[in-house]
Amino acid sequence: MSENITVAGVSVDTRHWIGGRRVASTSTFTDHSPIDGSALGEIARGGPAEAEAAVAAARDAFPGWAATSRAERARILHAIADGVEKRIEELAIVETTDNGALLRSHRRGVMPRVAHNFRFFADWLLGLGHEDFDTRGHTNHVSWDPAGPCVLITPWNAPLMLATWKVAPALAAGDTVVLKPAEWSPLTASLLADIAAEAGLPAGVLNVVQGYGSEIGDALTSHPDVRRISFTGSVPTARRIAGSAAANLTPLSLELGGKSPLLVFADADLDLAVDLAVEQYDNAGQVCLAATRLLVEEPVAEEFTRRFVEKATALRQGDPREESTDIGPNIHPRQLEKIDGFVRRALAQGARAVIGGHRNEGQYYAPTLLTDVAQDAEIVQEEVFGPVLTLQTFTGEDEAVRLANDTRFGLAATVATGDRERAERVTARLVAGTVWVNCFFVRDLQAPFGGSRQSGVGREGGTWSFDFYCDLKNTVTAPKGWNQDHG
């Protein structure tokens, strides 16, 4: 296989990165661009042998990295951030070509956030601590000790940003990493390996292996030398990973799917509420946090729908590399078929497509709004992960909360209301890891992030990330027993 491919003028190595060097595999898989379906290149397809080599490299590198001072770890993480910032344009165009998200978003928001992930956790590490406290004259001292090799499995919808959301705190904590990117969007993870090496990260501290979950993922998650597993993706895959990890009691962090609601009360600013609703089509609906269930109070439902349709039909769908495009393609033909299947079944069961409800040419699905849907319908209960929203109406807070909480998920929720007291009452009753009031997708890395119910296990962000990636230790010291001759 060719060791490098050229994507939009950028050279990308298609081999694994293990122990500080590039490693080929005997087999490959083809990576396609969702923009036009073209083949981007053949990617090294790892299996148990590559998994074993990557975990061994991480295990061997762990003692040295764990012993590295906090200040030096932070310095290297800042150097990685510098490298990302120097290559923002390259990273942006490669990721847009690979996963179809908007180039303008990658340039202005996503790739700068990648650099910020490293800077934030580098700085948080330097301030990480807990005040000593006294127990009957004894001193308690809490410390965060590096845990060991970590396996990080990341999704295809925001490949590099979500990968570094895990990689940065793991490295800051003193752990070593085996990163497995999604097979539908592997390219920027390979570039990250180059950037980390150029920044001076020691060999074996970050390893990147590519391939299918059934071939290399299972070998990674069941490995007895792995001390932490973090996964972002679907509930069925999470169950499989949890089963693999169970034999070794390997701690898990799982950020899974969602079926989040947007509650629009009659006292809300309707223009704001409509803007929030249309924003849910971002990244062609391929956002786990997306509020795909629009719940609108009956007195304003007709007017809300009219304004929504006006704004949503003005969105431009097309080539994500063009500045004027609002919605790009969906990631893969299989995902497109899944989205269309959800919609076709909903329509057959009596739902009405106010807008959309069909494929467009290529891997593009029309922004869709479905009404006349029952609460127990598949389209209301299951995550579609495409540009498909449903609209239901409610009367009063009790019904709004009941509908909002009536799924197996609990990742996020959004509330639009002009009444502060109502916002406080409603948000207190919602089952969700994150609730936004009159806003959406405002995220701070120091805040806890994760889901309730089947939307996930655990929280990451700020100290919560270090709590996961470290072994917490409490050292209790008695006031007596010291040999005075030795001070």
Show which residues are catalytic: 255, 288
Strand 368-371 to 388-394 pairing: parallel
Instruction: Specify the DSSP element, H or E, that contains 63.
Output: helix 48-67
Strand 293-297 to 388-394 pairing: parallel
CB under 8 Å to 443, separation ≥6 — which residues? 434, 449
Task: Judge whether 387 and 366 are in contact, CB under 8 Å.
Answer: yes
End-to-end CA distance of the chain: 65
What is the rounded distance in angstroms from the CA atom of residue 117 to the CA atom of residue 98? Answer: 21
Q: What is the DSSP string of 210-270?
A: -S-IIIIIHHHHT-TT--EEEEES-HHHHHHHHHHHHTTT--EEEE-----EEEE-TTS-H
What is the rounded distance in angstroms from the CA atom of residue 393 to the CA atom of residue 389? Answer: 13
DSSP H helical segments within 100-215, as ranges?
A: 103-105, 111-127, 159-172, 187-198
User: 436 - beta bridge partners?
Assistant: 414
325, two tokens: 């495009």
